[in-house]
Amino acid sequence: MVDDLARYRVGPLLLVEIKKSKAGCQIYDFAEVLDQTDQQARNAFATYPVVNSLGLIVALGDCWTYREYEREDFASSPTVSECLDPTFGDPVPEKRPPSKICPVVHECFGALGFARLQEQSSDDALTAVRQRLLEFGRVMFY
């Protein structure tokens, strides 16, 4: 439980993307969602300048994994007017903003790299995620 909810209304700490389950879920199945979550993270960072780190949960049915985004990993995008201005030049193609594993949470997942709800590894990972979000909040507000 977050100690003081009012503090956390300044911006998001966690993005959650839930998709339908995949038969025989494997860790590489989660990668298919990352283009979408990259854009969501970009929008969150643009909208909330005080947010420097975001957690990310991607769930495929009852399987889920956790990753993190850092503001510093996103290059600034050209504005709409810059994109429409022919004298601006070609925007520099940006490398894919990386979401990263969090070692503390990742170790709860074991070799699979993800957990299934109702399993002990899921409970352990959720406890670790909660701790990470508390850390993000402390850095943001202290």
Question: What whole-number distance in Å separates Cα of residue 111 and Cα of residue 134?
Answer: 26
Q: Please tell me the pTM assigned to this model.
A: 0.80
Question: What whole-number distance in Å separates Cα of residue 57 and Cα of residue 37?
Answer: 10
- Largest Cα separation within the chain, whole Å, is 57
Q: Residue 78: in which H helix or E strand, if any?
A: none
CB 85 within 8 A of CB 67: no
CB 112 within 8 A of CB 29: no
Token output for 94: 């940006």
- Per residue of the chain (142 residues), what is the pLDDT tens digit? 455 555 556 778 899 999 999 999 999 999 999 989 999 998 898 888 888 999 999 999 999 999 999 998 887 666 667 677 777 766 555 566 689 999 999 999 999 999 999 999 999 999 999 999 998 888 775 4
Token output for 124: 């352990």
Q: Would you call 16 helix, strand, or coil by DSSP?
A: strand
Sign of the CA dihedral running 90, 92, 95, 98:
negative
